[in-house]
Amino acid sequence: MPETLAEPTDRSAVRSLLRLWPYVRPVRARWFAAAFVAVLASCLGLVIPLILKWMVDGPVADRDPGGVWLGALYLLLLGLAEAGLFGLRRWLVARPLAGVEASLRADLYRHLQRLPVAFHDRWPSGQLLSRGTTDLMLLRMFLAFPLTFLLVNATTILVGFIILFAQQWTLGLVLLAPAVPLMVLCSLFETKYSLVARKAQDQVGDLTTVVEESVLGIRIVKGFGRNRSQAQAFRALAQRLRGTELHKARLLAWIWALITVIPELAIGAALVLGTIEVADGGLSAGTLVAFLSTALALRWPVESIGFLLAMSQESATAADRYFEVMDVAEEPSTAKDGAKDGAKDRARDGTSDGARAGGDAEAGLVFDGVEFRYPDADPDSVPVLARIDLRVRPGETMALVGATGSGKTTLTALVPRLHDLTGGRILLDGEDIADLERSRLRELVSVAFEEPTLFSATVGENVLMGAEGAGEEELRRALSVAQADFVDDLPHGVDTQVGEQGLSLSGGQRQRLALARAVVGRPRFLILDDPLSALDVHTEALVEAALRRVLEGTTALVVAHRPSTVMLADRVALLSDGRISAVGTHQELLRTHTEYAWLMSGAQSPRSADERTAVATAEEGSTL
C-alpha cells in the first residue's frame, strides 16, 4: 500500500471539507436556497409548541371546542407546510449535487490519465476505484444531508433556546447545563472516529483490489485450483473490515447514548422544576406545556449531533483520500521550462530547431548518455540504465537484444516518456523529447507492448486508438499488416466487442490487434517490445513479411528475443547490465560476441568460439 495512506493524526475535518468549495461554488445558489428552506421548515416546527400554549391557556382552559378545532387546523397546516418545505429542499439539492459528484469523478479520471506511470505502479487499483466510487458517494451524501442539517440543526437549537429563555429563563438554564459536557464528548468522539473511519475506507480499497485481481486473474485461480486460498484471503480482509466497522458502530453507539441520556436528564429536571412552579402558581400550565414541547422538539437536533458528526468525519476522510490523488503532480507537458511555445511552433511546420542545427548527425532516434533509475530507488543505487549511447538512423530498424532484466523494456519506455530520464537525453530527428509536448511526442512515437492490452470496446475502436482521426482505410491497412484478418470471422467483424482485457480473444489475436494499433497511424518512430512472441511460426512469417514493408519508411526500435524477429532489423544492439555492449549486424555479432550468440542459441551457458562459429554458419545457411 502506498505511503500516502498513513493514518492522519492532525487533520482538520473542516479544512478538508472546505477543499470541496470550488466544486460547490457553481451550485451555491441552489444549495443556500435549499438550506434556507430546510431552516424555515425546522423553525416552523418550533411554532407548534406556541400554538399548544395558546390552546392550553385559551380554548382548553375556557372549554371552547371551536378554539380547539381551530388550533388543530393550525397544527395540521404547519405540519403540511413543514413536509412540503422538506420536499422542496430535496428537489433543490438533488440535481446540482449529482452534478458536483459527476464533476469530482470526471476530474479524478482526467487526473489519473495525466499522472506518471510510476504513480500507477505504486498504487493498488482498488484504492483508486474506491476513491472514485464509494468516497465520492459519501461526499455527495454529505453535501446533501449532513452539511445542510448541521446548519439547520444549529439554527434550530439556537432559535429553540431563545424561545425557551423567553418562556422561562430559569428552566432554560437547566436545559443549557449539558452543553459543555456534550461539546467535550463530541470533541473526543471526533478524534477517535476520524482514525477509525480512515482505516475502514482504506480497507474497502484493499478489498476492492483483491476482488478486481481475482476477477481479472480468474483463469489463474481456476487453473491452479486456488479458489479456496483466494476465498480465505478475501475472507480475512472482509473480517478485518468487519472488525473496523464494528469499532465504528461501538463509537457511534457510545456517543449517541450519551447525547441522548444527558439531555433527557436535563428535560426530566426541567419537568420536575416546572411542575413545582405550576403548583406554586408561578407558571401557567400552557407555558409549561409549550416549554416541554419545545424541549422535546429540540431532542432530534441535539441527538443527531453524533450521527451528523460521524458522517462528517467519514466525508472528511473521503475528501482527504480524494485529494491525496488529486494533489499528486501530473506529468508536465514538457520537461524543460520555456519549451512549450517552441514545441508548438515546431510541431506546426513538422521540423525542429535541433534537427536544423544538428543536421544528419542527430537525425533518427538518438540515445545520448541516457541514465535511468526508478523514482522510488535510492539516489545512490546503481541505475537501471547507465550511459546508453545509441543511434538508430532515419528509416533504420534497430533490434534491441539482451538477457531478461537487462533493461530492454525500460529503455523503450523512455522514448514515449512513460518514464522521464534521470540523466542524458533522447533525440528524435535532432529534437530533445524533453522539449516536446507529450501529446506531440506520442503522435510521433507509436508503441506496441509485449503484453497487449485491449479495452472493453469494439475491435475497430481498439485499433483506431492508435491514431486520432484515422478512418476505415487506415484500419484495414493496419489489420492487413498485422495479419489480423481473423476479425472478419468474428460475429460482427470490426464492430465485435472484445470484452474486458480482450480475454475473449487468443493471445496471438490480442497481440496482432496491438500491433495493428501501433502501425495504424503510420508513425515516424515505432517502438515494438517483442511484438510477435505469441504468434505461431506460420503467422509470424506472414506478419514479418508485411511488417518489413511498414518498417521501410519508419525509424524503429524492436525488442527481440528470437532470431526470426532479429532478422527484421538492419542492425542489432546488445544491452547488457544496463549498458550497450555491442552494436552490429546479426551475423557480425554472432561471430564476434559470445553473449549475443548464447542469447540467440537458447543454450544454458555462453558458447565457446568454435560453437559460435557453428551457430553463425547455421544462421547464414538459414537466411539463404
At 294, which CATH number? 1.20.1560.10
Neighbours of 438 (CB within 10 A): 17
Does residue 592 sit in the same domain as residue 559? no
Does residue 529 sit in the same domain as residue 606? no
335, part of any domain:
no
Candidates 550, 474, 463; CA nearest to 509 is 463
CA 143-149-154 angle, to 5 degrees, is 135
Query: Taking a C-beta distance cutoff of 8 angstroms, is the pair 519, 527 a contact?
Result: no
Does residue 577 sit in the same domain as residue 601? no
Q: What is the pLDDT of residue 427?
A: 92
Distance between CA atoms of residues 457 and 480, nearest Å: 20
183, part of any domain:
yes
343, part of any domain:
no
Overall average pLDDT of the 35-53 stretch: 80
Q: What is the pLDDT of residue 246?
A: 92
Does residue 434 sit in the same domain as residue 287? no
Query: Taking a C-beta distance cutoff of 8 angstroms, is the pair 551, 524 a contact?
Result: no
Distance between CA atoms of residues 465 and 456, nearest Å: 12
Residue, of 300 and 25, whose pLDDT is higher: 25
Name the pLDDT band for 455 (thresholds 50, 70, 90).
confident
Name the pLDDT band for 357 (thresholds 50, 70, 90).
very low
Count the alpha carbons within 13 Å of 269 in the hemisphere toward its beta carbon.
15
Neighbours of 594 (CB within 10 A): 15
Residue, of 476 and 5, whose pLDDT is higher: 476
Does residue 93 sit in the same domain as residue 140? yes
Q: Is the pLDDT of residue 348 over 50?
A: no
341, part of any domain:
no
Least confident of 241-245, 317-321, 346-350, 563-567: 346-350
Count the alpha carbons within 13 Å of 174 in the hemisphere toward its beta carbon.
19
Last residue of a domain, one of 283, 305, 326: 326
Distance between CA atoms of residues 462 and 517, nearest Å: 7
Does residue 297 sit in the same domain as residue 322? yes
pLDDT tens-digit map of 412-432: 889 988 888 888 899 998 889
Q: Is the pLDDT of residue 226 over 80?
A: no
CATH assignment at residue 534: 3.40.50.300
338, part of any domain:
no
Domains of the chain: total: 3
Q: What is the pLDDT of residue 367?
A: 92
Overall average pLDDT of the 132-158 stretch: 85
Overall average pLDDT of the 293-318 stretch: 82
260, part of any domain:
yes
Q: What is the pLDDT of residue 534?
A: 61
The domain containing residue 258 runs over which residues? 16-326
Does residue 58 sit in the same domain as residue 204? yes
Does residue 575 sit in the same domain as residue 592? no
Q: What is the pLDDT of residue 620?
A: 47
8, part of any domain:
no
Q: 177 Cβ partners below 8 Å, 6+ apart? A: 266
Torsions phi, psi for 46 (to 5 deg): -80, -10
Q: What is the pLDDT of residue 353?
A: 41
Does residue 211 sit in the same domain as residue 290? yes
Does residue 522 sit in the same domain as residue 615? no
Does residue 384 sit in the same domain as residue 270? no
Name the pLDDT band for 6 (thresholds 50, 70, 90).
very low
401, part of any domain:
yes
Query: Taking a C-beta distance cutoff of 8 angstroms, is the pair 390, 583 a contact?
Result: yes
Does residue 499 sit in the same domain as residue 591? no
